[in-house]
């Protein structure tokens, strides 16, 4: 068509649809593409563009149909094969996805983008070996293709080969230095290696560039960095998350008016739990306790499962929800758009909606921003503030969030007497007790925490403890130490701080039995700060090993020791942390007393009283609901307790 030839009506509509698409007005764009297709039903590009828009509208099935129609009209449309294959993979249809990619590769066998799509499909389905091979094919086709290096980095990260992943990301960023996703992945890899400084720089760089799609994951890793900055005040850390919704492209709605008919204070309440960790994950401990011990006569339980991954723990947790005397309800919401989840929660008439993820992976904060429930609560399973005005309450305790923190929080505090809780593992306790008996020998201290918690200030304290205890050994255990590059990088950090390599043992991945033997082989556990251990401290206590904790904002270690009745193990400053560790390390009779008593003290403490913990949470739900019925909110903090 010449420049002077007028556009047809279909072409005018197509241009309008593209304009709407560029402005992210997805619904208008889709409607306009459909109008254009009514006039020009044989144009494959219109079907392809419609498919792209339908993906943005989370209408995956309709998008697949659009791509398939484009391929019927043009069997050589490579981009349509690529996008259709990705949707099939996302829907769990890996075989169909691979067949789609094979058809495209038969047309263009040297397509690096197609091989990256194949790699991504295998990666999503936990097949690292075939994903790795597909990445290699992509780089054979185009050695300078940045997405291939980035995808390979993700595959290597999945396989815990972090140093090689880091090298791939360096190459990807050399080729595409303004890619937010690549910087975000780099931040995650560096954090996993314990290199918090480089991780922070990478994540801050990521925020300089679009797209918004990766913002939530960047914020999750920034959260881990912020919690580990010793010189950051609580106010500064909490302020860093304000404005999350705007930056993530999430619309935070103002408070809603609710009908008077629902405001009945003492009726049975419908409680919804939104979680992406209903499987083999430390956060699932809380969910399992709640679903096991809830008073179903008082609370009707709804679970919104935000993950496609399933394992044996998922089956057990789902069974707790559905097969109680008063069965609950289980909704699958993974990959559903926020608006659709909002509509489901509204249809379920949820009274209290509980966030179990915060900023961690698979969160659904965008749903909470739409305010689908009258009362919205966070803190269970996550333990920190979201900084979102749509969240009404935060479960915590006075050690983790002291009263003075209330003025900086978006949420009102609900204080449990003890926030930390644990369900001891099933097993032969006699065998575990025998395992925990510590033979005579040199003093052994250790930690089994994530590497990103081991900041330089903390390591400097540990080095000072080793200097004061010249016969002692330090053992650090983390699965990332299986990677030789990560292990040597961490060794170099220790060298720069003056550690003697002969006195520090780095241990990698293990079975659960070997993990228990690790703690049994220690005399004293050193809790990291300012980001304390959680499950790792409980695992140490279960093997009757004491730990030294530092009191401070987000002080879960101090919270745990206070509930255990061991305030003497809580330090008020880094200097006192060193002094307490040295004093206890030199006092073998006192250590032996802890070794023979801590497991029993843990079992008898409120930390292991699941029914009591759930009654207190229910008390929080009921009090928050009563306040809502009166048009009020509970003061911050509100101390929860059970009737005498």
Please, what is the angle between helix 484-496 and helix 456-468, to 10°? 70
Please compute Rg for the chain using Cα positions.
27
What is d(CA 569, CA 546) in angstroms, rounded to the nearest whole number? 8
Q: In 3D, which of 33, 147, 149 has the Cα closest to residue 82? A: 147
Q: What is the pLDDT of residues 454-465, one digit of tens each?
A: 999 999 999 999
The least confident of 554-558, 596-600, 603-607 is 554-558
Residues 219-233: what's their mean pLDDT?
A: 81
pLDDT of residue 1: 41
pLDDT of residue 213: 64
What is d(CA 329, CA 294) in angstroms, rounded to the nearest whole number? 14
Q: Between the CA of residue 10 and those of 20, 25, 41, 458, what are the distances in Å?
A: 15, 19, 10, 66
Q: What is the pLDDT of residues 257-315, one digit of tens each?
A: 999 999 999 999 999 999 998 887 777 889 999 999 999 999 999 999 998 778 888 99
| Cα 448 to the center of its chain, rounded Å | 19
Q: How far apart are the first and last CA of the chain?
A: 86
Q: What is the pLDDT of residues 356-415, one digit of tens each?
A: 998 887 889 889 999 999 999 999 988 888 888 899 999 999 999 999 989 989 999 999
Sign of CA dihedral 450, 454, 458, 462: positive
Confidence of residue 104 (pLDDT cuts 50, 70, 90): very high
pLDDT of residue 7: 72
Residue partners of 68: CB distance under 8 A and separation at least 6: 84
* Residue 638: count of CB within 10 angstroms of its CB: 16
Tell me the average pLDDT of the chain.
Answer: 92
pLDDT of residue 2: 45
Residue partners of 621: CB distance under 8 A and separation at least 6: 269, 271, 299, 352, 375, 377
Q: What is the pTM of this model?
A: 0.88
What is d(CA 613, CA 417) in angstroms, rounded to the nearest whole number? 9
Question: Among the residues of 91-127, which ranges form H helices?
Answer: 94-107, 112-124
Q: What is the pLDDT of residues 25-55, one digit of tens each?
A: 999 999 999 999 999 999 999 999 999 999 9
* Residue 110: count of CB within 10 angstroms of its CB: 12
Counting beta carbons within 10 angstroms of the beta carbon of residue 254, is it exposed (0 to 12), middle (13 to 18) or buried (19 or more)? exposed
Contact yes or no for 479/450 (Cβ under 8 A): no
pLDDT of residue 244: 63
pLDDT at 321 over 60: yes
Report helix, strand or coil for 331.
Answer: strand
Contact yes or no for 564/399 (Cβ under 8 A): no
Residue partners of 616: CB distance under 8 A and separation at least 6: 416, 417, 640, 641, 642
Residue partners of 510: CB distance under 8 A and separation at least 6: 477, 518
């Amino acid at each position: 068509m010449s420049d002077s030839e007028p556009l047809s009506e279909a072409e005018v509509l197509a241009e309008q649809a593209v304009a709407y698409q560029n402005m992210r007005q997805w619904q208008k764009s889709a409607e306009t593409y459909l109008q254009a297709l009514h006039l020009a039903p044989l144009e494959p590009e219109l079907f392809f563009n419609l498919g792209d828009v339908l993906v943005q509208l989370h209408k995956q099935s309709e998008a697949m149909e659009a791509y398939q129609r484009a391929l019927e009209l043009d069997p050589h449309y490579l981009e349509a094969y690529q996008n259709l294959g990705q949707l099939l993979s996302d829907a769990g249809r890996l075989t169909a996805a691979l067949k789609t990619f094979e058809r495209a590769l038969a047309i263009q066998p040297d397509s690096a983008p197609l091989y990256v799509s194949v790699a991504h499909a295998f990666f999503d389905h936990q097949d690292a070996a075939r994903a790795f091979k597909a990445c290699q094919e992509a780089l054979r086709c185009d050695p300078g293709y940045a997405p291939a290096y980035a995808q390979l980095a993700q595959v290597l990260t999945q396989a815990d080969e972090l140093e090689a992943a880091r090298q791939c990301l360096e190459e990807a960023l050399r080729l595409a230095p303004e890619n937010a996703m690549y910087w975000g992945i780099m931040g995650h890899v560096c954090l996993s290696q314990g290199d918090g400084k480089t991780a922070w720089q990478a994540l801050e760089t990521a925020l300089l560039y679009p797209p918004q799609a990766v913002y939530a994951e960047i914020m999750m890793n920034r959260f881990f960095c912020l919690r580990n900055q010793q010189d950051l005040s609580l106010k500064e850390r909490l302020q860093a998350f304000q404005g999350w919704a705007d930056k993530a492209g999430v619309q935070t709605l103002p408070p809603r008016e609710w009908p008077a008919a629902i405001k009945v204070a003492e009726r049975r309440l419908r409680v919804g739990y939104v979680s992406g960790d209903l499987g083999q994950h430390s956060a699932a401990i809380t969910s399992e306790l709640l679903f096991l011990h809830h008073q179903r006569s008082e609370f009707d339980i709804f679970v919104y499962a935000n993950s496609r991954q399933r394992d044996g723990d998922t089956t057990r947790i789902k069974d707790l929800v559905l097969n109680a005397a008063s069965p609950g309800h289980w909704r699958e919401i993974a990959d559903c758009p926020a608006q659709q989840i909002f509509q489901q929660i509204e249809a379920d008439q949820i009274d209290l909606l509980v966030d179990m993820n915060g900023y961690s992976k698979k969160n659904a904060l965008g749903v909470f921003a739409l305010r689908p429930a009258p009362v919205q609560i966070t803190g269970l399973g996550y333990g920190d503030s979201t900084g979102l005005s749509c969240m009404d309450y935060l479960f915590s305790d006075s050690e983790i969030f002291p009263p003075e923190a209330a003025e900086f929080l978006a949420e009102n505090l609900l204080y449990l007497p003890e926030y930390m809780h644990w369900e001891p593992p099933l097993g032969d306790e006699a065998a575990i007790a025998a395992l925990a008996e510590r033979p005579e020998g040199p003093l052994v201290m250790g930690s089994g925490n994530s590497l990103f918690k081991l900041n330089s200030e903390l390591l400097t304290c540990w080095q000072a403890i080793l200097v004061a205890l010249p016969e002692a050994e330090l053992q650090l255990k983390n699965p990332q130490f299986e990677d030789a590059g990560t292990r040597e990088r961490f060794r170099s950090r220790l060298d720069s701080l003056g550690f003697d390599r002969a006195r520090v043992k780095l241990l990698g991945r293990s079975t659960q039995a070997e993990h228990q033997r690790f703690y049994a082989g220690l005399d004293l556990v050193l809790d990291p700060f300012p980001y304390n251990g959680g499950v790792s401290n409980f695992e140490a206590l279960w093997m009757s090993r004491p730990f030294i904790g530092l009191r401070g904002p987000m002080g879960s270690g101090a919270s745990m020791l206070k509930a255990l009745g061991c305030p003497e193990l809580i330090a008020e400053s880094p200097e006192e942390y060193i002094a307490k560790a040295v004093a206890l390390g030199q006092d073998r009779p006192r250590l032996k007393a802890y070794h023979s008593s801590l497991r029993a003290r843990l079992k008898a403490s409120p930390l292991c009283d699941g029914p009591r913990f759930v009654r207190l949470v229910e008390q929080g739900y009921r009090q928050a609901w009563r306040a809502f019925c009166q048009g009020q909110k509970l003061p911050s903090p509100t101390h929860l307790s059970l009737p005498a």
